[in-house]
Amino acid sequence: MHAGDESIDAAPPRRPAGARWAGLLETGAWIAAAWPLFFAVLLHACWLHAWVLLGHRPRPYLDDPKYIPGLGGWGWPTSLACLGILPAGLALVGLLPLRLGAAAPPRRHARVRCGASLLLYVGVMAALRADPWAVFDWWLD
């Protein structure tokens, strides 16, 4: 090479359109699968904040979150997260077959990731349903 020559590297190859769509579908599926986890974190953070404010564990039907001073900022985010659980589940059910269809021919990894995202959604919903400290009952009353 001479002093004035510059080497021009070729641009990296672009991903095929199908791979880009598969990545977007997978990201959407993981967001939908993690939505109940987002709600559970908000709900338990609200409950722990109420515990700190009250000085004892909040009791369902006695310590209403609406009437605990200093807890007002948790209402809207937690309510919106709760309202998003059903649409997130429906989106997950719709996105998983699309994700599997957009995967490259060795679909083993896509099946594992789809199964893991579905397991995350179902597992968090089961944990919310079990509700060992009656957190959901406290918030819902």
Work out the percent of the chain whose per-residue pLDDT is above 90: 60
Kindly state whether residue 4 falls inside one of the protein's structural domains: no
Kindly state whether residue 12 falls inside one of the protein's structural domains: no
Return mean pLDDT, the chain: 87
Q: Which domain holds residue 48?
A: 18-140
H-helix or E-strand containing 85?
helix 85-102
> pTM value?
0.82
Kindly state whether residue 26 falls inside one of the protein's structural domains: yes
Residue pLDDT, tens place only, 38-91:
999 999 999 999 999 999 999 999 999 989 999 988 889 999 999 999 999 999
Q: How many domains does the chain have?
A: 1
Q: What is the largest CA-CA distance in the chain?
A: 83
Q: Is the pLDDT score of 4 beyond 60?
A: no
Kindly state whether residue 111 falls inside one of the protein's structural domains: yes
Kindly state whether residue 10 falls inside one of the protein's structural domains: no
Residue pLDDT, tens place only, 98-116:
888 877 667 788 888 889 9
pLDDT at 9: 64
Kindly state whether residue 32 falls inside one of the protein's structural domains: yes
Question: What amino acid occupies position 106?
Answer: P
Residue pLDDT, tens place only, 111-131:
888 899 999 999 999 999 999
Residues whose CB is less than 8 angstroms from the CB of residue 35 and which lie 6 or more positions away in sequence, other chains included: 81, 84, 85, 88, 121
- Taking a C-beta distance cutoff of 8 angstroms, is the pair 41, 118 a contact? no
Tokens of 79: 């309510």
| Cβ-count burial 117-135 (b if 16+ within 10 Å, e if not) | bbebbeebbeebeeeeebb
